[in-house]
Structure 1
């Protein structure tokens, strides 16, 4: 590990300290490492060929005309990306779905855009976790493994 020195405006340091307190970091270094990792992950998602995982969460009106069937159709069209989906009934009108996805970032982004752009879908959010080029993705039935 290397030690570095940075210079920041007082108001930015204060904001960093507030963020650190809210998130429970023990020191500024932990906060800055996490911020840099997040920025690098975000940058890597711009590479359409980058492999990784993602979590797509969205709220939708289940009574909206044919919306549920359009979402299911999009999921089936991109079945190779889907690892798991969780469906939660929020209230009489709204449902929350959380999809865990695996594949190329470009395909994942396309799927997320396809789902969240549907009329009646609200609060869509895609969180990407690119994996580095040296990490091998697990493929079912390709040898034994333990977790």
Structure 2
């Protein structure tokens, strides 16, 4: 977080675990252990926010669906209008003659985003749904 005071603290871990951690952060291009730990802490707190359904989250929901399925487009549009308070924007791609892909960018309370995902998952035409959710900490 910009402007926050950095606090140093010590962590004791087994040598083998630290070696594995160092290999991991190097393979990921993470510059140092401090940044790696900060990322792990942010990821953990974001996951807690998502699991508990509390707090502001950002993310995307990618869906693929068969647009020939009866009223598929209408049902998906109705759902998206009901959740317009959490949908930032959508991108629609015609994947082939039968299938479409949409990426829905979201920002809102975790429980509302979860409700949107559940409603979209229940649409018969949806072949695949992949959410990616994060919080800004």
Q: Report TM bin, short chain.
A: 0.7 to 0.9
Give the gaps of 5 or more residues in structure 2: 1-5
Q: Paired residues, what number? A: 131
CA distance in 2, matches of 1:12, 1:92: 51
Residue 43 (str. 1) matches residue 54 (str. 2): no
Superposition map of 1:65-84 within 5 A: 65-84=70-89
How far did 1:121 drift?
2.0
- Give the secondary-structure state (helix, strand or coil) at the position aligned to 2:51: coil
Q: Is the 8 A contact 1:54 1:108 kept in 2?
A: no
Question: Structure 1 pair 9/69, CA: closer, same or farther in 2 (3 Å)?
Answer: farther
TM-score (norm 2): 0.75
Give the gaps of 5 or more residues in structure 1: 133-147
Instruction: Find runs of 4+ consecutive structure 1 residues off by over 6 angstroms.
Output: none
Q: CA RMSD in A?
A: 2.6
Residue 7 (str. 1) matches residue 13 (str. 2): yes
Residue 114 (str. 1) matches residue 119 (str. 2): yes
TM-score (norm 1): 0.71
Residue 88 (str. 1) matches residue 88 (str. 2): no
